[in-house]
Amino acid sequence: MPFRFSPGALQDLVLTPPEELTEPASRRFIRTDVAIAGSGPVACAYARIILDEHPTARVTLIEIGAQDGKILGGHHKNSVKYQKDIDAFVNVIKGALQPVSIPPEDSYLPTLGGDAWTTDKKLISYGRNPNQVPNKNLKGFGITRTVGGMATHWTSTPHEEEIIRNPINKQDRETLGKEADKLLGVNPNEYDVSIRHKLVRETLKDKLEPSSRKDSVVNMPLAVKRRTDNPDYVTWSGADTILGDLTKYGKRFQILTETRVTSLERPRINGPGGPGTGPGTGPDIHGILARDLHNNSDIYIKAKAFVVACGPIGTPQILFNSGIRPHALGRYLCEHSLAFCQIVLKRGLIDSLPKPPDPEKNPLPIPYNDPEPQVQISYSPEFPWHCQVHRDAFSYGDVGPRVDPRLVVDLRFFGKQESNVDNRVKFGPDNPEKLGDWKAGVTDIYGLPQPTFEVTRSVKDQQNDHRMMDDMCKVANLLGAYLPGSYPQFMEPGLAVHITGTTRIGKPEHKAESVADSESRVWDFNNLWVGGNGCIPDSIACNPTKTSVIIAIKGARALIAHLKEIPAHH
């Protein structure tokens, strides 16, 4: 059962930690066992495993965003309103995604009249990045800052196809994959009741060439469950699904909302200012310095173990700001190319369906409440891209009033990108000796060092993208005609929001090319873990969430083992 908060219960959970001290006097002091930065699917997977498998551990989540709604991290698409009008949900996604790196615009206005102040120079407005080279930007990439993270509007859970240098062996991946499915609430058959779903799936199985690909046409695995009280609707999994019933943990669990994790602090025994904490050295993190954005005050969170799971940009950003800067941090960045179009189903396909009971009132033989199709064409080495054939809400692709939405099918093809050390997100000077130099430059809107992308696609990537587009057009022609205004096109780089590699895990022999070991523990640290899509060590074509949760489950159990090694009086 998802934990549904009454307003009072929510306030108690957020504001009452298991142990809170008032020293030093200038800031709040919270003591817990495990401090987790982030509240998305991976952060919640860490929390759930630790709470379930360690009988006494206290877990604190720190989230920079707010709690929206009464259900902690619940999926926003569970509203009847959006399930009746899927295009309306596009605006929810647009509102949730905050851009990462926007170059400054040309501020010269030649038609500005009167005595208004103007200039012919580019102005650096709040949140703009003057260091971003436009042709190396992932302009479409955005971050969701809210309790639940991407799980508030994300849906699909296909798994990895091939990952080079995967430090987790195949048997473990299969076992952990079943656990991840359970945590995420994955069900592959919830759309078999749909007329359109079966029509699209069987058409592709029958017509797709070469015929050897027919077995790759399958139901898309989705984190969703069709409601039994009203099968017209479904319940999408969110962070609440992963966390489960929080009431059974009592005060062992807490979440701090609208609280920025500023830095991870290490002990500083001898240095300026005497004993204390700060950008010291050593294998242990002492605490998290955070900022309560409500009242602009500092919080110090002391814990025995720490997890940073703030996404593939936020996680390396926090490590960088903490002076933790291995060479691989932010590097080996991979993101999908994304080809997209929409089609209107062929007359012959529609005419093959049973006649409607009342053709005068509804000549289309598809009921108004027929669920949308949710079909995938799986990745293969011969066709190295992941294909989704469905009707869903993204930050683009709303149909509007142009055509009956029951006839429209979306095609989204995701292409892999070669892993390259020079593709990266950076936060400051390349010289790691200059720990404070970024402060003289720009910051993001939350006051942390500004991410800047340096990403290009290789010749091989471009050739595969060309093949992928050709394949998408062939698939589209099997199903129908292009919806005017939604012809085959490549979308803005980063729009898939599936970045991997920026905090990649690796084996000891690949330590110099990774940030953490196979259990996601940051190299040379005893009590610091990273989580999220950035941990995936190479490019994948499909959605990365399940793969990231698999990695997180393994990491959470290593963290539990670490807690059990610590003396009880510690």
Helix (H), strand (E), coil (C) string for 385-422: EEEEEECCCCCCCCCHHHCCHHHEEEEEEEECCCCCCC
pTM for the full predicted model: 0.90
Residue 346 corresponds to which tokens in the numbers above? 């062929």
Q: Contact, 511 vs 524, CB < 8 A?
A: no
Angle at the Cα of 200 from the Cα atoms of 195 and 202, rounded to 5 degrees: 95
556, 183 Cβ separation under 8 angstroms: no
The b/e string for 215-242 (b: 16+ C-beta within 10 A; e otherwise) is: ebbebbbbbbebeeeeeeebbbbbbbbb
Distances (CA, A) of 37 to 117, 148, 315, 550: 43, 12, 9, 18
477: Cβ contacts below 8 Å, ≥ 6 apart: none
> Average pLDDT of each block of 10 consecutive residues along the chain (570 residues)?
32 34 63 97 98 97 92 92 86 88 77 77 72 91 93 75 76 92 94 97 96 94 95 95 94 96 82 47 89 93 97 97 96 96 96 89 90 94 94 66 85 95 86 46 86 96 96 98 93 93 96 97 97 94 93 98 81
Taking the chain, what is the end-to-end CA distance rounded to the nearest angstrom?
35
Supply the pLDDT for residue 569. Answer: 55
Greatest CA separation found in the chain? 85
The three-state secondary structure class of 199 is helix
Nearest alpha-carbon partner for 252 in 491, 32, 6? 32
Q: Is 91 a catalytic residue?
A: no
Question: What is the Cα–Cα distance from 417 to 423, expressed in whole angstroms?
Answer: 10
Please state the domain extents for the chain: 24-101+134-565
Q: Could you confirm whether domain 24-101+134-565 is CATH 3.40.50.280?
A: no
Q: Of the residues 543, 562, 569, 570, which is catalytic? A: 543
Contacts for 352 with CB less than 8 Å, ≥ 6 apart: 199
pLDDT computed for residue 62 by the predictor: 98
Candidate list 54, 197, 390, 498, residue with the active-site label: 498
> Strand 276-278 vs strand 259-268: parallel, antiparallel, or unpaired?
antiparallel
- Amino acid 340 reads F
pLDDT at residue number 394 = 66
Residues facing residue 297 across a β-bridge = 292
**CB-facing half-sphere around the CA of 313: CA atoms within 13 A:** 26
* CA atoms 479, 484, 485, 487: torsion sign: positive
Spatial distance between the Cα atoms of 275 and 435, rounded to a whole number of angstroms: 20
- 8 A C-beta contact, residue 504 and residue 328: yes
The SS3 call for residue 334 is strand
Q: Can 76 be counted among the known catalytic residues?
A: no
Residue 364's CB: how many other CB atoms inside 10 A? 14
